[in-house]
């Protein structure tokens, strides 16, 4: 296996987002849940190791990231990519800065870039300031994030606050001049003792320039956007012989189901649309907390129904209903009770013959994947931006679509199942 790119992602759905980009660019990509313990198939251009390190203690994030790096180095991978969120989710303590520096130290490199831009999704960087759509990061909803409130849009300042090395900037005016100008800017920053450069990106063309000018870097750090530039660069250089079939998945046959624990607006709309014409079973967190029989009822219902067509089992609820459940059980318990129940349901579904499973919710996906003992996924075609079909590796293959929060259109569930059928 010639691993062109080895990625370390700081959360699960972020890892899928990057993997989806790489596949779109023509790289055959596998996502692993945590550091791989079993060998991976040979036919792969990129591996994305999904960690859960975004908001844990910096020392733990560093340790996990170094373990991932150790595995990637063992595979002889050509370039390492540290992937974080396009809204640069972090605090003055980290974890983007400390992990970046630990990787630089371990790889013996004195310079890297930081570029969370994802222009297609409205995340652009202009003179070092990160925009979410038309507003500065610090004016976006991210300023109120419960764990990583982003109250400063200047990425140079944000990165410098969590980094020992000097942080500099390569602005879009340089990117507009092309690869050679960016290489010169990098050489200049390096000679001045800068260790990390925030790089502007206003459009996909800038991502291509970034990828070309850092092609010989041991380490790049970025959101998922730069991944598309890197895949494009490898494809243009003729290194992706299987680009046309990079999204091909093995054939999976079996029953179909949807499990939803996301309470985002879009997931509420998706559940409502499904319920209007197809079978669905609602789980109530308070009932689940009060009686273990509640989940058994759901399982009995699904076993009864699923043989005759796809079913939905959901805890998805409106903000008022979520608040009511949280008031009764506490926020953490309400979440945990639902995640545990849906994980249990997912296991029962697979035992009943389900092999095509859609999961809505980032945390919910984590709980389901861990209950099913999934350790690696081959990434397939995109269903909607950020959400590809995948197939589990090791054990009996299951087609999984893991959809977080507000991703996907209102008809996502039926559309995703139809797309899978269409490729058969
Ligand atoms: P998203 O990707 O939309 O953020 P997550 O699965 O990450 O979705 O998070 C949703 C959280 O809400 C989970 O912890 C889930 O268990 C919890 N949850 C789901 N349904 C309910 C409900 N009816 N009441 C309270 N919490 C719920």
Domains of the chain in sequence order: 5-244 (3.40.50.10840), 255-422 (3.40.980.20)
> Which residue, judged by its Cα, is nearest atom 17 of ligand 1?
335
**pLDDT for res 296:** 95
Residue 128 Cα to ligand 1 middle (Å): 34
Residue 312 Cα to ligand 1 middle (Å): 16
> Which residue, judged by its Cα, is nearest atom 27 of ligand 1?
335
Joined together, the tokens standing for residue 406 give: 């507000």
Phi-psi region of 79 (alpha: psi -120 to 50; beta: other; left: phi over 0): beta
**pLDDT for res 2:** 80
Express each pLDDT in 83-92 by its tens digit: 999 999 999 9
Question: Residue 237 phi/psi, 5° resolution?
Answer: -80, 0
> Which residue, judged by its Cα, is nearest atom 20 of ligand 1?
315
Distance between CA atoms of residues 123 and 225, nearest Å: 9
> Which residue, judged by its Cα, is nearest atom 6 of ligand 1?
361
**Secondary structure E strands in 20-119:** 29-33, 46-50, 79-83, 112-115
Helices (H), 136-224: 155-161, 172-177, 179-191, 204-213
Give pTM, 2 decimals: 0.91
Express each pLDDT in 186-227 by its tens digit: 999 999 999 999 999 999 999 999 999 999 999 999 999 999
Write down how long the chain is. Answer: 424
77 and 5 Cβ atoms separated by less than 8 Å: yes
Residue 336 Cα to ligand 1 middle (Å): 9
Joined together, the tokens standing for residue 103 give: 């990787």
Residue 362 Cα to ligand 1 middle (Å): 9
**pLDDT for res 101:** 98
> Which residue, judged by its Cα, is nearest atom 16 of ligand 1?
335
**pLDDT for res 424:** 62
**pLDDT for res 326:** 92
**pLDDT for res 367:** 92
Query: How is residue 201 annotated by DSSP?
Result: B
132 and 126 Cβ atoms separated by less than 8 Å: no
**pLDDT for res 147:** 83
Query: How is residue 39 annotated by DSSP?
Result: P
Joined together, the tokens standing for residue 417 give: 């199942």
Phi-psi region of 350 (alpha: psi -120 to 50; beta: other; left: phi over 0): alpha
Distance between CA atoms of residues 293 and 297, nearest Å: 6
- Spell out, as residue ranges, where the chain has pLDDT lower than 70: 1, 423-424
Residue 329 Cα to ligand 1 middle (Å): 13
Phi-psi region of 116 (alpha: psi -120 to 50; beta: other; left: phi over 0): alpha
Going from the C-alpha of 158 to that of each of 103, 138, 145, 367, the distances in angstroms are: 19, 11, 16, 32
Joined together, the tokens standing for residue 358 give: 């859609």
Residue located via tokens 């759905």? 13
Q: Which atom of ligand 1 is nearest to the CA of 403?
A: 2
381 sits in which H/E element: strand 376-384
Distance between CA atoms of residues 109 and 120, nearest Å: 30
Q: Which atom of ligand 1 is nearest to the CA of 322?
A: 24
Substitution site in 17, 314, 361 for ligand 1 pocket (most atoms within 8 Å of beta carbon): 361
Distance between CA atoms of residues 197 and 14, nearest Å: 22
**pLDDT for res 337:** 95
Residue 328 Cα to ligand 1 middle (Å): 15
Question: Residue 325 phi/psi, 5° resolution?
Answer: -65, -40
> Which residue, judged by its Cα, is nearest atom 3 of ligand 1?
405
Q: Which residues line ligand 1 (CB under 6 A)?
A: 261-264, 267, 285, 315, 317, 321-322, 325-326, 334-335, 338-339, 361-364, 404-405
**pLDDT for res 188:** 98
The vertex-133 CA angle with 18 and 405, nearest 5°, equals: 50
């Amino acid at each position: 296996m010639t691993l062109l790119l080895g990625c370390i992602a700081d959360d699960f759905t972020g890892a899928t987002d990057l993997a989806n980009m790489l596949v779109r660019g023509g790289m055959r990509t596998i996502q692993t849940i945590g550091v791989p313990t079993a060998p991976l198939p040979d036919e792969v251009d990129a591996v994305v190791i999904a960690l859960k390190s975004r908001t844990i203690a910096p020392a733990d994030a560093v340790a996990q990231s170094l373990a991932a790096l150790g595995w990637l180095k063992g595979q002889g991978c050509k370039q390492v990519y540290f992937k974080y969120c396009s809204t640069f989710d972090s605090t003055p303590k980290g974890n983007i800065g400390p992990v970046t520096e630990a990787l630089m130290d371990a790889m013996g490199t004195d310079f890297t870039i930081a570029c969370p831009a994802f222009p297609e999704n409205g995340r652009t960087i202009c003179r070092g300031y990160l925009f979410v759509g038309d507003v500065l990061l610090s004016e976006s909803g991210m300023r109120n994030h419960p764990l990583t409130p982003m109250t400063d849009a200047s990425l140079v300042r944000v990165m410098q606050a969590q980094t020992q090395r000097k942080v500099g900037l390569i602005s879009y005016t340089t990117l507009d001049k092309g690869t050679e100008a960016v290489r010169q800017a990098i050489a200049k920053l390096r000679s001045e003792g800068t260790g990390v450069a925030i790089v502007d990106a206003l459009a996909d063309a800038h991502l291509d320039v970034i990828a070309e000018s850092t092609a010989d870097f041991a380490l790049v750090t970025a959101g998922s956007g730069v991944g598309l530039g890197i895949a494009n660069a490898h494809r243009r250089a003729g290194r992706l012989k299987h680009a046309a079939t990079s999204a091909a998945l093995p054939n999976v046959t079996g029953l179909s189901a949807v499990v939803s624990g996301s309470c985002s607006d879009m997931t509420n709309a998706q559940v409502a649309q499904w319920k209007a014409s197809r079978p669905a079973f609602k789980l109530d967190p308070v009932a689940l907390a009060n009686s273990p029989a509640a989940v058994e009822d759901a399982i009995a219902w699904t076993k009864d129904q699923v043989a005759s067509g796809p079913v939905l089992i959901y805890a998805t609820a409106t903000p008022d209903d979520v608040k009511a459940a949280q008031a009764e059980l506490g926020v953490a318990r309400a979440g945990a009770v639902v995640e545990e129940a849906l994980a249990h349901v997912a296991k029962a579904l697979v035992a009943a013959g389900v092999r095509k499973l859609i999961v809505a919710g980032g945390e919910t996906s984590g709980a389901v994947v861990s209950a099913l003992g999934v350790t690696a996924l081959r990434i397939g075609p995109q269903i909607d931006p950020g959400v590809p079909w995948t197939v589990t590796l090791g054990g009996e293959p299951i087609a999984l679509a893991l959809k977080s929060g507000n991703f996907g259109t209102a008809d996502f569930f039926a559309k995703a199942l139809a797309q899978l059928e269409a490729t058969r």
